[in-house]
Amino acid sequence: MTPVRIVVYAADLVCLLGCSEASAYRLMRKIRDEKGKPLKSLVSVVDFCSFTGLPYDSVMASLNGRVV
């Protein structure tokens, strides 16, 4: 069984959104601030999707290497 990703990293955001690495880190910081998380805490896929409004299923499919 293949493990399912539940955390997004800045490198994932670069691929998902087509943004620069600096923009990805800025977005991660905004998500953490909105959720009240510490600076170095992990950002979940659920947190990312609720912040951006992107569909959870599409994000999960992309992160896990499936075509949507």
pLDDT tens readout for residues 25-42: 999 999 999 999 999 999
Task: Tell me whether residue 1 is in a domain.
Answer: no
Task: Tell me whether residue 47 is in a domain.
Answer: yes
Burial class (CB in 10 A: 0-12, 13-18, 19+), 43: buried
Domain that holds residue 17: 7-63
Task: Tell me whether residue 39 is in a domain.
Answer: yes
Task: Tell me whether residue 21 is in a domain.
Answer: yes
How many distinct structural domains can be found in the chain?
1
Structure confidence at residue 48 (pLDDT): 97
Low-confidence ranges of the chain (pLDDT < 70): 1-2, 66-68
Structure confidence at residue 3 (pLDDT): 74
Task: Tell me whether residue 52 is in a domain.
Answer: yes
